[in-house]
Each structure stands twice: as C-alpha cells, then as structure tokens.
Structure 1
Amino acid sequence: MNNDNRGTISQQGNIMRIDNALVEEVSAPNRATGYLLVSYAVLKPKGMTSIQLLRLNIGRNTVILNSFGLSMCLCDIRKGMWIDSLFSPIMTRSIPPQSSAFLVVARRELKSSVSVTTDRIAMVDVNNNFLYTGNPNNINSQIRFALSNSTTISDRNGNPVSLRSLRPGQMVRVTHANFQTASIPPQTTAFHVQLL
C-alpha cells in the first residue's frame, strides 16, 4: 500500500480513533506490554498530505484483536502491518506524541505475508533450529519450520519458552511465512510458535 492509503485520526467523545495506521515499529519486551509506533496521514491546506507519527503505549488492559475479533498478542504485530486503534485523547507533547491505547485491531491484508498452521509437533531439531509438525509417521503430511533468532516461542499463557521445552505430540499454532519450498517436507520460516 502507498502513503495515500494511510488513515487519519478523529475524536469521538472522550476517545481518539485512528483507522488504517501503518505500524512503523513494535516493542514488546514482555509480549503483553510495550508500544507501537504508527504513521498516519494528515491533510494539509492546498490538498497536501503530511505523514505523522504516534506512539501507542500498550498496557496490560489494552485489548488486541485480529481482523476476525480474536484476541492476539502484541508480539504477533509486525512492522508493516496496518491497524485500527482507539486511544486516550491525553497525549504527551513529545516527538512523536504518546498516548495509551485502549484497543488495537490488526487489519486483514488483501495479500497476507503470513500464514498460520495449527498442528501437533512431530519432531524438534534443537541443533538445527527446526520444528516439524504433522504426522510423525508420514513425511508427506509434515511441514518443517525454520526458526531464527527473531522467532518467538510462547506457552499457553504467552510466557516465553525455549525450543528445547517443546515436545512431540504437543499442539502448536505457528505463524509463518506464506511461502514454502518444494521439498518434502516443505520448509518455511516461523515467526511465532504458540503452545495450545
């Protein structure tokens, strides 16, 4: 999407609203709290548009939903995603201004760059940072996920866990790239692994 698609801020009573803001930066040091740096368009005189930044502080009471209305973790939001948000009209005078977010909704993209697979773990290869899902007795049903240093792994409660703590048979939800190699099993890059 180009800059012309960035939304604008409006006020509705005691709540500010931003629609279609571009996520420029995500900070989620403990997965539940942190901030989103977003950009949005401001219409200037003579039809000029200026891109402004806003830091949305995410607290434990901030509700974060995906486009289907399901709860999601701050750690699932990535740079380049588009969001809608309701936030406090009380803002700092800093650059960029900061405000506390009440609600963040990740927008569904027309062509998503991520996919989600929910399946049982078939095998964990700690030495090579691979996680296999599917039927352990049928290689044709499996997917091999490559984990990088930026891949996050969390337990049922959203707490971080290590690859070593995962076991075959556990149910996981893997957020991963929407491309796969043509190998058997197909391989793709995992962004986040959530134990279910």
Structure 2
Amino acid sequence: MSDDPRSAMIQDGNIMRIENALVEETFCFNDSSGYIIVSYSVPGENNTSFIEYIRLNFSRNTVIINSFGQNVCPCCLQKGMWVNVIFSSRMTRSIPPQSGALLIVVKRGIQTPSSVTTAPVAYVDPSNNFLYTGNPNNINSQTRFLITDTTTITNRFGNPVSLSALRPGQLVRIRHANAMTASIPPQTTAFAVQLV
C-alpha cells in the first residue's frame, strides 16, 4: 500500500472534496483571483495508486483560510503546500480538468514563509486596506501591502493602532509573505506592521 499522504477525490452531491492535496503550481492574477493546480492520489489495482491533477480556479467568492480559520492571501498560496479543497463537481474535460474552488484550507503546521522589510510609509489607503511603502514620488520604489483582518498593527511600544493612524514618512517594520505579485508596485500580504 502506498504511503503517499495525498487522498482521493470524494464527491458529495454537487461538490467535490480532496483532503491532503499537494499544491503543484500557483498563479495569482490579482489580489482576488487566480488558480492552483493540485495533485491527489487515485487508488489503482493491486494496492497501487496513481497521481492525478486538477486546476482549481479561485475568485473573491472563494474562501481561503488556514487550519485556524484565519484568512490567507490568495497570492500567498505556494507550490509545496498541503491543502484541503472543496470545489464544484462541474469540471471541464481539459487536461488537467478545471473547476471552481469554493474552499481552500492550508493545512496546519505549514508556515507561510515570511520576510521583514523596514521602509518609510509612502501613503495609506484605509478604504481598500493597503499600505504603500517607499518613495511616494517613484512607483518603482514602492511596495503595496495588503492589510487583512489578521494583520497586527502596533506603535513602537507594541500597542495596537489602526491603519488610518499611520502617516506618510513614518518608518515601519513589516513582516510579510515572501510571495509578491509581478505588478507595479509589487503586492504582498502584511502579517504584522510596527512603527519604528
């Protein structure tokens, strides 16, 4: 019997489910849409198994969370992550087949790789939950950070502050996802923001 942790696809009415799918490829069109290609195990004869692939398209209607129920940035999904997925039973006949993802749960124990950047605030967009760092007069020097419900924002003493309390020119230290979009300015998700 195979010891591959990937499990087979299971159908339940109009939805399909795969537990322990391996993310093989990701593509993020913008901060709310893109796709992942995952692999999963299909049992064969004589205790063998085969690896199959499916492309799962996600949109702003797709729920993407970690095992603690916290939102995960779609662009933070990376090759090599293990996920549980629920998706529509309506699939294309392409290779690999495609379907619309309803729920993606990043498995417990998988840490999103992160980096720390220290830079001045260029400007703040609280209505869209974005924080821009770099030179306000040079878009090529800027980075756009998505502020989620789980992002912590603190002053230099560690006390919580709101995004709208940040001002251009203030120096901030941001712990963020390693993955960035190829846009100008590049975008990533901020996990923690602290005034320096």
Q: Spell out, residue by residue over 1:130-152, the C-alpha distance to the aligned partner (whole angstroms, 9 max, x if none).
A: xxxxxxxxxxxxxxxxxxxxxx7
- Quick one: distance in 1 between partners of 2:106 and 2:21? 10
1:94 partnered with 2:85? no
Distance 2:83 2:68 in 1: 13
Q: Which amino acid aligns with 1:98?
A: Q
**Partner SS for 1:46:** coil
Cα distance in 2 between the residues matched to 1:105 and 1:21: 10
Partner SS state of residue 109, structure 1: coil
Partner of 2:140: none
Listed as ranges, the gaps of 5+ residues in structure 2 are 121-142, 149-167, 180-186
Change (3 A) 1:122 1:35: closer
2:130 aligned residue: none
How far apart, in 1, do the equivalents of 2:24 and 2:97 lie? 14
Q: In structure 1, the residue corresponding to 2:75 is in which secondary structure?
A: helix
TM-score, structure 1 as length reference: 0.63
- 2:51 aligned with 1:51: yes
- Aligned with residue 155 of structure 1, among 146, 150, 158: 146
**TM-score under structure 2 length normalisation:** 0.63
Q: Deviations over 1:11-31 (max 9, x none)?
A: 122211010000000000212
8 Å CA contact 2:24–2:37 kept in 1: the answer is: yes
Q: 1:85 to 1:167 in 2, by over 3 A?
A: farther
Partner of 1:5: 5
Following superposition, the deviation at residue 192 of structure 1 comes to: 4.2
Q: Which letter maps to 1:6?
A: R
Structure 2 CA distance for aligned equivalents of residues 26 and 79 of structure 1: 6
Output the CA distance in 1 between the equivalents of 2:65 and 2:47: 34
Q: Is the 8 A contact 2:87 2:100 kept in 1?
A: yes
CA contact (8 A) 1:122 1:168 kept: no
Give the superposition deviation at 1:169: 4.0
> Residue 183 of structure 1 corresponds to which residue in structure 2?
none
Kindly tell me the number of residue pairs found equivalent between the two proteins: 146
Give the secondary-structure state (helix, strand or coil) at the position aligned to 1:47. coil
Contact 2:10 2:17 in 1 (8 A): yes
| 1:20 aligned partner | 20
Tell me if the contact between 1:15 and 1:86 (Cα under 8 Å) persists in the aligned partners: yes
- Structure 1 vs Structure 2: percent identity of aligned residues? 42
CA positional deviation for 1:80: 0.3
SS of the residue 1:30 aligns to: coil
Q: Is the 8 A contact 1:64 1:71 kept in 2?
A: yes
Q: Which amino acid aligns with 1:56?
A: L
How far the C-alpha of 1:81 sits from its partner, in A, is: 0.3
- CA 192–156 in structure 1, closer or farther in 2 if over 3 Å, else same: closer
Q: Which amino acid aligns with 2:50?
A: S
Per-residue Cα deviation, 1:24-70 (whole angstroms, up to 9, x for no partner): 00000212101000000000111111000000010120010012101
Structure 1 vs Structure 2 CA RMSD: 3.4
Cα distance between partner residues in 2 of 1:168 and 1:51: 51
